Structure 1
Amino acid sequence: MRSAIVTLFLCVFLAGMCLAQPVQASNYPERPIKMLTMTGPGAQIDLLTRALSDALSAELGKPVLVTNMPGGSHGSVMAAELKASDPDGYTLAVSATAAFTYSPHYVQTRYTFDDFEYLSMLGLNQSGIVCAPNRPWTNLKEAFEWARNEKRGLTYMFQGSDDRDVMQRIAAKEGVSLSLMPSTGGPSIISAVMGGHVDLGHLGAILFEYVKANRLKLLAATTPQRLTQLQDVPTLREQGWDESVEMFVVLVAPKGLPAPVLDRLNQAIDKVAANEKFRTFITDELIMAPVTFGREAALSYMKEANDRFGKQAAEAKKQ
């Protein structure tokens, strides 16, 4: 009799445990949400993260608190932390898409593409190669020609593995030695380039204000097309190299969110996407190119990019 009672109690307890998560998830969110971001304070993606956090907080009715986690390849340190977080909707992240679609194919990471839920694209960060204004180059091609003629190498501060690899391939084709330095985001690159600690650096849209103020010089647009506000500077392809850097930004969560949580986040993202003030901030203040919001568009792009970079990496290993 006692055994039967104990067994019955355990069944009831386990059933309660199974029901607790959906009931709790249906009330999401019940406490503040942590929002990780891949850069230090002040970088373009950090500013976008903070604007998104404010907009989501207004929709979800709970604080969304930003935590800066720079480091690794395009946010791989942050991505590893996100993977280790509980898939309950209380830890989200904003990152360059390359952390998930590119880095796992080229560097050792503690996560894979399939470890995450891709909730929404947020913007396309326009980007380019910059140098100090006093350098004797008007474009990147001239910088490599100068280094070759002077029999000197160049130092380059990179954002992530993709722009690093692009510049390594270009330098190899140009016959110029390239010394690489990692960064913790845009502000660290600006300080290093302006201070003369490196010759070249790769920046997102934060470059616009510095180039317009003649505090930095833009040598090449690294996006497939010329930058919207600096149309006179040619792209990498226009300078003779079949290369570009895709700096899309994405909202991500750990894999395995409960359905009620995922639905609530999708609803909030739809509301944020319709927020004209938020969208204007992205295009006018951050000078990012607009994208299609929502989970469907995010999944479509992320899968295509992951497959493309996976094939590219496999071909590189054969060489």
Structure 2
Amino acid sequence: MKAYQIWSRFLLSLLAVLVAAACGAGGSQPQPQTAPADASPASASPSAAADQGATKTEPAYPVRQIEYIVPYSAGGGVDLVARAAADYLSKEWGQPIAVINKPGGGGTVGAEYALKQAKPDGYTVLAVNVSNTSMLAAGMAEPLIKNDDQIYTARIGKGTMAFAVKEDAAWSDFASFSEWARANPDALTWTSVGPAGFSAFGVAEWLDRIGGDYVKTRMIVTKGASDSVPKVAGGHAVLAIHTVGEINPMLQAKKVKVLAVGGEERSPFLPDVPTAAEQGIEGLSVFWWTGVSFPKGTPEGVIKKWEAAVAKMTSDPDFVKKLHDIQVEPAYADSAQFTQDVEKETQYYTELAEKTGIRN
């Protein structure tokens, strides 16, 4: 009996020790933390801060090669400016920029590739100019490329319109040539990348001012100035209307001559050639320009970076000299101003196209 009592006491003591140990272990477990009464949800949870609008870091750009699409043949004004810009910006950013020529369709083949087929990631940029933007939209009722298809990012340069004929052509001045064109519209042939190109609007505006018949003249389609001016030099067309820079190689080779330039002032690159206004034909306002655009959906950071880079580039004396070497003047415009100018131009050219018969 005595042994039984001793054993029972031992078991009770052991049970008490085990219970005490269990209680001690439970008391040492960490308790749930309660946020201070004045703590905000963001301070209570880092992920909540990200969900409530914390700014994410913009990805680096560019980190690889950029395709600079020129929708005309090599050697023309758009191409030459694009190559100068690509060279400058590739050094500025430390990434290659490849100029790729995709001519055809009056500039629409390359534009469609850059704006509708390529990804809107900033790695495909389009060399736009007046022919495949405001003039295209004005000249065609259903253009393949519209102003709304792109983000006008920055304008780079501009050029003066020049009227060129074969070097040994009978006309010695623009006034006499204009009289001939008014009297002989059926015999007037002229070159253009398409029915809504720069040359087409230059011809239409000129004929409208002198009372000529645009519809009776004949357009000869080319791939650009490098194809167009040689056709005039070879006698396959009477007139080429391009920028001073685009005509200059054939002018220097004495294959063509320039009868007049458009605008209110003489070109700084052809100071001896009178304006059309000086020869009694006023109101020729068509001028050439080129810049860059991206497809809709391109990140805003890409647009801003190009905008700033082009602004810097067109203020750089070395780049300006390169433009002058190809007879192009710097004419920077940021995205907002560029877009506004294109819209204004489109309205003017649409009215001209409807009046003269360009629009179809």
Shared fold per TM-score greater than 0.5: yes
Is 1:71 aligned with 2:92?
no
Task: Give the equivalent residue in structure 1 for 2:291.
Answer: 250
Question: Out of 193, 208, 215, which is 2:248 matched to?
Answer: 208
- Structure 2 length-normalised TM: 0.72
Is 1:189 aligned with 2:228?
yes
Kept after mapping to 2: 8 A contact 1:171/1:178: no
Question: Out of 225, 235, 260, which is 1:220 matched to?
Answer: 260
**1:119-165 per-position Cα deviation (integer Å, ceiling 9, x unaligned):** 11111122211111111101333234346778961211124524314
Kept after mapping to 1: 8 A contact 2:66/2:98: yes
Task: Give the equivalent residue in structure 1 for 2:314.
Answer: 273
Query: How far apart are 1:109 and its partner, in Å?
Result: 1.7
Query: How far apart are 1:166 and its partner, in Å?
Result: 3.9
- Structure 1 length-normalised TM: 0.81
| Aligned counterparts of 1:83 and 1:26: Cα–Cα separation in 2 | 22
Query: How far apart are 1:199 and its partner, in Å?
Result: 1.1
**1:59-109 per-position Cα deviation (integer Å, ceiling 9, x unaligned):** 222111111122233x23322222212211011011213421221121232
| Aligned counterparts of 1:57 and 1:277: Cα–Cα separation in 2 | 15
Task: Give the equivalent residue in structure 2 for 1:145.
Answer: 179
Note closer, same or farther for the CA distance 1:94–1:207 as it changes in structure 2 (3 Å cut).
same
* Bigger radius of gyration: 2
Question: Out of 76, 82, 89, which is 2:114 matched to?
Answer: 82
| Aligned counterparts of 1:260 and 1:216: Cα–Cα separation in 2 | 46
| Aligned counterparts of 1:86 and 1:151: Cα–Cα separation in 2 | 46
Kept after mapping to 1: 8 A contact 2:199/2:242: no
Kept after mapping to 2: 8 A contact 1:82/1:253: yes
Note closer, same or farther for the CA distance 1:62–1:242 as it changes in structure 2 (3 Å cut).
same
Task: Give the equivalent residue in structure 2 for 1:155.
Answer: 189
Kept after mapping to 2: 8 A contact 1:113/1:306: no
Task: Give the equivalent residue in structure 2 for 1:33.
Answer: 66
Aligned residues: 294
Is 1:99 aligned with 2:137?
no
Task: Give the equivalent residue in structure 2 for 1:51.
Answer: 84
The SS at the match of 1:46 is: helix
Match for 1:219: what amino acid?
L
Identity %: 23
Question: Out of 186, 190, 203, which is 1:167 matched to?
Answer: 203
| Aligned counterparts of 2:175 and 2:101: Cα–Cα separation in 1 | 35
Note closer, same or farther for the CA distance 1:225–1:72 as it changes in structure 2 (3 Å cut).
farther
| Aligned counterparts of 1:246 and 1:95: Cα–Cα separation in 2 | 14
Kept after mapping to 2: 8 A contact 1:120/1:252: yes
RMSD (CA atoms): 2.9
Range with greater deviation from structure 2 (166-175 or 91-100): 166-175
Note closer, same or farther for the CA distance 1:60–1:44 as it changes in structure 2 (3 Å cut).
same
Gaps of 5+ in 1: 1-21
The SS at the match of 1:119 is: strand
Query: How far apart are 1:35 and its partner, in Å?
Result: 0.2
The SS at the match of 1:31 is: coil
The SS at the match of 2:74 is: coil
Gaps of 5+ in 2: 1-55
| Aligned counterparts of 2:119 and 2:302: Cα–Cα separation in 1 | 13
